[in-house]
Amino acid sequence: MSKTLRILTLAIVFFVAVWPLVTAAEEEPGNAARGRASFTLYCSSCHGKSAKGDGPVAYSLKTAPVDLTQLSASNGGKFPVDQTYAYIDGRRSVGAHGPSDMPVWGLSFQDPGRDSDQEAMVRHKIRDLVAYIESIQEKGR
């Protein structure tokens, strides 16, 4: 067997063995407890500990942070998972929201010291934040 054929065979075996593990991990739902820890670290300075938009930095922003506990109420009682994810990620503009003062967390969650593809890790962290924000939605106010 030629060296090229051996390398190709090993690559296929690795892909077949590892791919299901990678895709299963990526499809894993977010974890609200981990999301809460991330929220406290990354989001509470603007959105506040209560997530109502009353963080210590909020008053210095030209656009007030959103009350994150009211996203379901503002969306007919259904939590907007995909829109919330896209807004947190920030790498693609969310046209309906207009310009944003919010950081582009999809880039900020990456570690510049790592050479590897970090996309799965970024998606995981954003899903955790979305799960936490969904868990704090206020019911019918």
| 90 and 112 both lie in a single domain | yes
User: How far apart are alpha carbons 107 and 112 in whole angstroms?
Assistant: 10
Q: Encode pLDDT of 83-119 as tens digits.
A: 999 888 877 655 544 455 666 566 666 666 666 667 8
| 9 and 19 both lie in a single domain | yes
User: Which residues span the domain enclosing 78?
Assistant: 31-135
Residues ≥6 apart with Cβ < 8 Å to 74: none
| 21 and 40 both lie in a single domain | no
| 67 and 113 both lie in a single domain | yes
Whether 141 is covered by a domain: the verdict is no
| 60 and 95 both lie in a single domain | yes
| 61 and 116 both lie in a single domain | yes
* pLDDT tens for each residue of the chain, 141 residues long: 666 656 655 556 555 455 544 444 456 789 999 999 999 999 999 999 999 999 999 999 888 999 999 999 999 999 999 999 988 887 765 554 445 566 656 666 666 666 666 787 888 889 999 999 999 999 865
pTM of the model: 0.69
CB 137 within 8 A of CB 43: no
* Residue in this structure with the two tokens 């990456």, named with its chain if needed: 110
